Structure formats: structure tokens, C-alpha cells
A and B are shown apart, each in its own frame.
Chain A
Amino acid sequence: MSEATPPDDRMELQEDPGQQDQRQQRRLRGSDGRMLLDQYFRVACIGIAGISVVILAFLLGSIIYQGVPSLSWTLLSGTPEPEPSEAGAWPAIAGTIWVCTICALITLPIGIGTAVLIEEFKPRNRLANRIFSAIQLNISNLAGVPSVVYGILGLTAFVSMFGLFGSLKGGESSLEIGAVYYDQFTNLASDPFLSMGAENARERYFLAPVASPSDPPTVATSGMEMFEYQGDQKVPVKISVFDPFGDLPSDPEELSLAIAADTIPGRISEKSWYYFSLPFGRGVLAGSLTLMLVILPVIIISSQEALRSVPSSLRDGARGLGATPWQVVWNITLPAAAPGILTGSILAMSRAIGETAPILIIAGIVYIRNAPQHLMDSYTVLPLQIYNWTSRPQEEFHAIAAAGIVVLLVILLSFNAIAVILRQRMQNKVR
């Protein structure tokens, strides 16, 4: 078949030689034009790439120029004091690390799992197929939703949980694990108004355990056993109740155990690292879950692309050896798709690190002095802290904000670097 001359060529042979020459020349000119177009295209590509590189370099340069002089150990480890020279971003850095780590731990399994379900376990019947297409369409749409919308959604769904557990008054929640409540009493010596006859006694605080946070305040009675912190240890002590205007014991030690009658204690709580409450409130977990909403579509879509790029011959090979669908996914498809999944996940995580709008809504603008201690603890993140600083009137804070941006960039770059190294390693292992 291939040796046979197609009829078109035979027609051409019958044309007169001059015409044929002309055709040949036209062809040559066409090729010249294409070569020239190729050159133009290359120049255009370099130009476009160059513009973006120049803009990026300019931005980076100006940020580094403004920010690097303000970079200091105080900035990395200090708390956000109102005085510019003492201002630090440690609570924000710790908050960013907390929120992003928990966000990654929750989002990656869900996102990759969803992608595996959609790509590898396609349904056989028509109804399920429709449902899958609907899910697919939704995921694609969700990727384009502005993140502030997710912030509002997170506020309703995670922070207050649709009000299912009552309103969020006074930070009380209806379900708690890992919290112990105490009523804190002050002794006579530490009371600024009643300490007149007790100057020679030292100030002490006593804790009376409370069974439930909704209990009425404890009424102190003489001989009641309370706890006192001595160093890190809680030690039981016996307190006594006195009328502050009556006779007081003369022994300073005995006097230091005295509590004024009718003292109203302060309710305090001690929360363990595993403290958990419903609804989540404005805590780290609610923030992480909201960021999960923001990046989940991105992770699902990029994981799907990565899974789709795994040749089906590999799946057939594993299936042909008697691997179950799960074994095919776990041993063959996922490892082969891992570099792609990793790239997409890291891009998504970078977005999560830099995300400000939803955090602004669900964390609220609160002054945070401490790094988060547990999942429900209040927090702030670096972009929010930078936003806060840039909105201050003092010039010094703008320089500190620039330094904060440099810190954020370094965190982002190190994230990306880890991803690139991991991906290279994985690819080297199989090629």
C-alpha cells in the first residue's frame, strides 16, 4: 500500500514543469516564513517570561531592602509589643506553623483520598456516574471561590457549628475534654483593700476544684482543703476564713492562709494539650479546617491530574498479577503519582500559609501574646500580623512588617525547597 502512488501525486506529475517549479518555490517561501515566526515566537516568550521575572525581582528586592534591617532575634522570638523596638512575631510564627501543620494533616488524606476515589474507583452504574460527575463539577467550581467566602463558611460551620451547641457566650462550650476548672481565692495579704492587718503575711492564691464550669461560685469555709501552686506542683493546703475587720491571727504563716469571708472567687481553667471542645470556637482547629476548605479543591484537582498521568498499562500489569484494586492503588498508582501529588500539595500549602482573608474572619482581630498551647487555643498567623503592622501609623512598624514578609517568604521558600528535594528523590528512585 505504501509504495502505491496516491492519485493526487499522479495528477501533479501531469502538470507542466513551470507550474511545478512555482509550487516548489512557494513551499520554500512558506518554510522561511515559518522559521521567522519561530524566531519571533521565541523572542516573545523570552520577553513575557522576562517581564514577570523582573517584576518579581523588583518586589523581592524592595521587600528585602526594607525588611532586612529590621530582622532581629526579637522579631523572631518576641511578642507583638506596642513598642516597635520590642515587637516580635513569635505567636504569629507559631500560629502559622500550628495551623498549617494541622491543615496539612487533615487535608492531604482527604484530598488525595477523594482524588483516588474519583480517578481509580469509577462507578459502573449510571446513577453513581452522574453523582461522580456532579462532585467533579463542584470541586472545579469550588477551586474558584474567593477565600473570604470560605472564611464565612468556616465561621458558621466550625467556629459556632450552626449554633447546635448553644451560643458562644463567655467562651463556654457545651462539650469539653481535657479542661479542669478551679475557683481561685486570694488571701487577705494579696487583697489591695483588705490587706491592712496582714502586711507581714506573704501573698498566696488558693484553688478550689469545680466539678462543672456552670456551677455557682464556691463558698469558702474554715478548714476547707484547697490547692496551691508551689513551683510546678499542686499542693493541698487547709485555709481558714476570717472576718477581715475582726481579730486576725498574729502568726504570719497562719495569717497567709486566711481568706476574707464572702470572698468571690475568680473562675479559671487549666487546659491540657489535648483539650477539645464543641463547638471549636475561634481556635487553631477551626482555622485549620477553614484553610482546608480553601485548599482542598486545589489538592484534589492536582492529585487527580497526577493519577491520570499514570499510564493505565501499569494498573493493568498489577491487576494482571492478581492485585486487588486497593493494592493497585497503594503499591503502583500512588507511588507513581506521588511526585505530581506532592507538587500540587505543596503549591496548595503555600497558598494556605499566605491566606489572610478567611483567618481574619474566623480568628478575629485579637491581641495574641502566646503561641497556641492546644487545638482550641486562640491564635494569629503571620500574614494577619503583617496586615496588623502595616495598618499602624508608625513608620517603624512598616519596616517590621517588611521584615515579617521576609520571614514569611523564607518559610514559603523552605517549604517549596523541601518539596522539590522530595520530588527529585522520588523521581531518581524510579528512573
Chain B
Amino acid sequence: MTTKTLETKPKRIMNQVAPTPSAENDSTDALDSTQYAIEAEKLNGWYGDFQALHEISLKIPKNQVTAFIGPSGCGKSTLLRWFNRMNDTIFSARASGDLRLGDIDLLAPSTDVVDLRRRVGIVFQKANPFPKSIFENVAFGPRLHMQLNKSELSDLVEWSLRKAAVWKEVKDRLNAPALGLSGGQQQRLCIARAIATGPEVLLMDEPCSALDPASTLAIEDLMDELRDQYTIVIVTHNMQQASRCSDKTAFFFEGRVVEFDTTETIFTKPSSQKTEDYVRGRFG
């Protein structure tokens, strides 16, 4: 499936874009602000003296998959980590400008980071299951945020694992250590863990970069299914993946958003020469 060329238009985009014409005229600002999950306005980000993000202005639409593409070190992951304040742990990280999730100011020091991270889940590049049982991994988030009795908790764990398409493989060994799963299963477990807290937005930081094609396909199918209930933002280095499974794509270069449009536009008739060079594989 990674051999699919860019010239053959990805099937899923056709399916996805056609029934949602609103995505087409997004550039004309036809959507009102309630249809955006995250809005960034002139966001600048620094690590110490190094400016990693320059004047980022983006509106991530609700219940769609938005892909961030661009060469390494262009600020995709940095931006993603500002969306749920994971940058808080990096001492030198600062940001200015405006970044909102609904009516929450994501940059304000007073923002309740704990509640924010419940609403904005994140899946990392490398699967990082806790050294606990499979059940405990998924139950970890709900235990932090909700008061559930035993059966409600196990129902939620089952729901999350089913949603993450890993239930069939693990249902007989929920008490087995999560580290015994294969890489792809571990990553799907991490997705199950992330959706168990009921987030509105799911951030995925190169979730498939360490996975084999079969697991990648499973996770892409998963995103396709999850898009109805979640806003998904995915950072990827894989052009085909971006074109296959995203509705909108942002191309980053040297800390700036060069182009942000529907995935179809970005991959077929990009307005910027740089975008075209990148998606055609001429650099990066």
C-alpha cells in the first residue's frame, strides 16, 4: 500500500471530501467558529532563543482529520505539543500569540492543564504503554478523571479497545503485561488509552512511523472510523498517509505554515512551489 503513487487519487479522500462540501469552501471562511476545534492566530513559539514557530495561523476543523506535513524540524510536532501543553515540561519552551480550544485560552498559565489533556488526547511516535497490564493501561486515564464502579470501568475499557480495533487480539489476556504486545498492537493500545478519557481532539504525533504496513493500515482505518466523533490532528512524514487519510493538510516549512488547504488541493494543485516540491518528493 505504500507503493501507491500520488497520481492515483486516494479513494478515501474522494469519499470523504464529496459528502462534506463545507470543507471545500473553507478558505472563504464560510464556517462559523463553532465548527473549529482549535484556532491558532499569529502563534510564535520558542525553545530558548530559537524560534521554532513563526506567526502560525490555523483553524483545525471539528470532526475531520487534519494532517501536518513538512520536513524534520519544521515545527509540526512543536505546534502539536502546544495543543495540549505537553511543552510545559520543556523548560525553555515559550509561546506568544493566540491559541484557543473552543473558548479555552491554551497559552494562559491559569489554564487547567489536567482537564485540557483529558479533552485533548495525544498519541506519541513511539508506542509507550505503561509497564502494567493491558486493562490497567486503558483504565489509567478514566481512573484519573472519573468516578466509575468496576463494571462501568471494564465496559469503558472494552469500548475503548474495540474502538481502537485491538479488542479481538487482547480480550483473552487483559491482565497480561502490555509490553508483551507487538509494536502495532501497543500503538493501538495507546490509542485506546487516549480515547478512554473521552477527548474531543486526538493528537497523533507520527503514530505509524515505527510500524509495519499492516499495522499502519489498521491505524489508518481506525482514524477513518474515529473521525465521526473526534477531531484528529496527525503529524506524518508519510505523504501517502497524509493523502490517504486526512481531510485537510497543512504544509510546514521552517516554522511557518506555507499552505493549509484541503488535502486534495495540497496534493493535486498546491498554490506554493515549495509545497509542490515537497509533496512530489523533490526535497525533504
Q: Would you call A430 and B121 a contact (CB within 8 A)?
A: no
A335 touches B131 (CB 8 A): yes
Given known contacts A322-B115, A322-B144, A316 and B177 CB-to-CB distance under 8 angstroms = no
Q: Measured between alpha carbons, how far is A316 from B130 in the docked complex, in Å?
A: 11
Interface membership of B89, Cβ < 8 A = yes
Given that A331-B140, A431-B177 are known contacts, is A324 also in contact with B128, CB under 8 Å in the complex? Answer: no
Which of B89, B126, B131, B145 has the largest number of chain A CB atoms within 10 A? B131
Q: Which residues of A contact B256 (CB under 8 A)?
A: none
**Most chain A CB atoms below 10 A, which of B121, B132, B180:** B132
Contact B177 A322 (CB under 8 A): no
Query: Which chain B residues (90-122) contact chain A, with CB distance < 8 Å?
Result: 91, 113-118, 121-122
Q: For residue B117, which residue of chain A has the nearest CB?
A: A322
A327 at the interface (CB under 8 A from B): yes
Q: Is the CB of A321 within 8 A of B128?
A: no
Asked if A322 contacts B131 (CB within 8 A), the reply is no
Q: Distance (Å) between the CB of A3 and the closest chain B CB? A: 15
Measured between beta carbons, the chain A residues less than 8 angstroms from B145 are: 322
Q: Which residues of A are found within 8 Å of B84, using beta-carbon distances?
A: 320
Contacts of A124 in B (CB 8 A): 91
B141 at interface, CB cutoff 8 A: yes
Chain A residues whose C-beta falls within 8 Å of the C-beta of B190 in the assembled complex: 317
**A248 vs B258: C-alpha distance when bound (angstroms):** 117
Instruction: Give CA–CA (A430, B197) in the complex, Å.
Output: 23
Chain B residues, Cβ within 8 Å of A320: 84, 86, 117, 121-122, 124, 194
Given known A-B contacts A124-B91, A322-B144, A314 and B128 have beta carbons under 8 A apart: yes
Give complex CA distance A321, B140 in Å.
8
Instruction: Please determine whether B124 and A332 come into contact, CB atoms closer than 8 angstroms.
Output: no
Q: How far is the CB of B9 from chain A (nearest CB, A)?
A: 29
A22 interface residue (CB < 8 Å to B): no
Closest to A327 in B: B144
Could you tell me the distance between the alpha carbons of A317 and B126 in the complex, rounded to whole angstroms? 10
Q: Counting CB contacts under 8 A, is B222 at the interface?
A: no
List residues of chain B with CB within 8 A of the CB of A431. 131, 177, 179-180
* Chain A interface residue bracket vs B: 20 to 34
The reply to whether B86 and A319 form a contact with Cβ atoms under 8 Å apart is yes
The answer for the CA separation of A336 and B130 in the assembled complex, in Å, is: 9
**Interface presence of A318 (CB below 8 A):** yes
- In the assembled complex, the Cα of A306 lies from the Cα of B201 at a distance in Å of 34
- Within 8 Å CB of A335, what residues of B? 131-132
Q: How far is the CA of A98 from the CA of B187 in the complex (A)?
A: 49
B76: chain A residues within 8 A (beta carbon): none
Which chain A residues lie closer than 8 Å to B91 at the CB level? Answer: 122, 124
A196 to B277 Cα, complex, angstroms: 121
Nearest-neighbor residue (CB-CB) of B127 within chain A: A313
Question: C-beta contact mask, B53-86 vs A, less than 8 Å → 1, else 0?
Answer: 0000000000000000000000000000000101
Residues of B within 8 A of A321 (CB): 117-118, 121, 140-141, 144, 193-194, 197
A317 touches B144 (CB 8 A): no
Q: B161-200 CB contact bits vs A (8 Å, 1 = yes)?
A: 0000000000000000101100000000010011001000
- Cβ contact within 8 Å between A317 and B89: no
Cβ of B141: which chain A residues have Cβ within 8 Å of it?
321-322
Determine if B140 and A318 form an interchain contact, defined as CB atoms under 8 angstroms apart: yes
Q: Are B197 and A322 in contact (CB under 8 A)?
A: yes
**Which of these, A311, A322, A331, A430, contacts B114 with CB under 8 Å?**
A322
Most buried by A among B86, B124, B140, B177: B140
A336 pairs with B124, CB closer than 8 A: no
The secondary-structure label for the interface of chain A is helix
Task: Give the complex CA separation of A195 and B113 in angstroms.
Answer: 85
Q: Which residues of A contact B128 (CB under 8 A)?
A: 311, 313-314, 316-317
User: Given that A313-B126, A316-B86, A317-B124 are contacting pairs, would A430 and B118 also be in contact in the complex, using a CB cutoff of 8 Å?
Assistant: no
Q: Which residue of A lies closest to B116 (CB)?
A: A322
Please give me the residue from chain B that is nearest to A123 by CB atom: B91
How far, in Å, is A210 (CB) from chain B's closest CB?
A: 57
CB atoms of B132 and A430 under 8 A apart: yes
Closest residue on chain A to residue B178 by CB atoms: A430
Contacts of A331 in B (CB 8 A): 140
Q: Which residues of A sit under 8 angstroms from B194, Cβ to Cβ?
A: 320-321
- A430: chain B residues at CB < 8 Å are 131-132, 177, 179
Given contacts A336-B131, A430-B132, A431-B177, contact A322 B126 (CB under 8 A): no
CB distance from B88 to the nearest CB of A (A): 8
**A323 to nearest B CB, angstroms?**
6
Q: Which of A124, A316, A320, A430 has the most CB of B within 10 A?
A: A320
The reply on A169 being an interface residue by CB < 8 A is no
**B95 to A: closest C-beta gap in Å:** 15
Inter-chain CA distance A409–B114, complex, in Å, is 50
Tell me the minimal C-beta distance from A341 to chain B in angstroms: 14
> In the complex the two chains form, is A429's CB within 8 Å of B177's CB?
yes
Which residue of chain B has the shortest Cβ distance to A332 in the bound complex? B130
Bound complex: CA A327 to CA B115 (Å): 14
Which residues of chain A (374-431) have a CB below 8 Å from chain B? 429-431
| A316 and B124 in contact, given A321-B140, A431-B177 (Cβ under 8 angstroms) | yes
In whole angstroms, what is the CA distance A331 to B137 when docked? 11
Rounded to whole angstroms, the CA-CA distance of A336 and B128 in the bound complex is: 13
Give the chain A neighbours of B86 by CB distance below 8 A: 316, 319-320
Q: Which residues of A contact B177 (CB under 8 A)?
A: 429-431
A324 touches B114 (CB 8 A): yes
Alpha-carbon distance between A124 and B87 when the two chains are bound, in angstroms: 13
The interface residues of chain A lying within 8 Å CB-to-CB of B180 are: 431
Q: Bound complex: CA of A317 vs CA of B191, how far in Å?
A: 11
Query: Is A322 a contact of B118 with CB atoms below 8 Å?
Result: yes
Give min CB distance, B238 to chain A, whole Å: 18
Q: Scoring A residues 323 to 339 as 1 if CB is less than 8 Å from chain B, else 0, what string do you get?
A: 11001000110011000
6 closest Cβ contacts across the A-B interface? A430-B131, A322-B117, A313-B128, A320-B122, A321-B141, A322-B118
Give me 14 A-to-B residue pairs in the complex whose CB atoms sit less than 8 angstroms apart, sorted by A's number.
A313-B124, A313-B128, A314-B128, A316-B124, A317-B190, A318-B140, A320-B124, A321-B118, A321-B194, A322-B141, A322-B197, A324-B114, A335-B132, A431-B131
Binding site for A on B (CB under 8 A): 84, 86, 89, 91, 113-118, 121-122, 124, 126, 128-132, 140-141, 144-145, 177, 179-180, 190, 193-194, 197
Query: A interface vs B, CB < 8 Å?
Result: 122, 124, 311, 313-324, 327, 331-332, 335-336, 429-431
Besides A314-B131, A316-B86, A335-B132, 4 new A-B residue pairs in contact (Cβ under 8 A), listed by A number: A317-B130, A318-B140, A319-B117, A321-B193
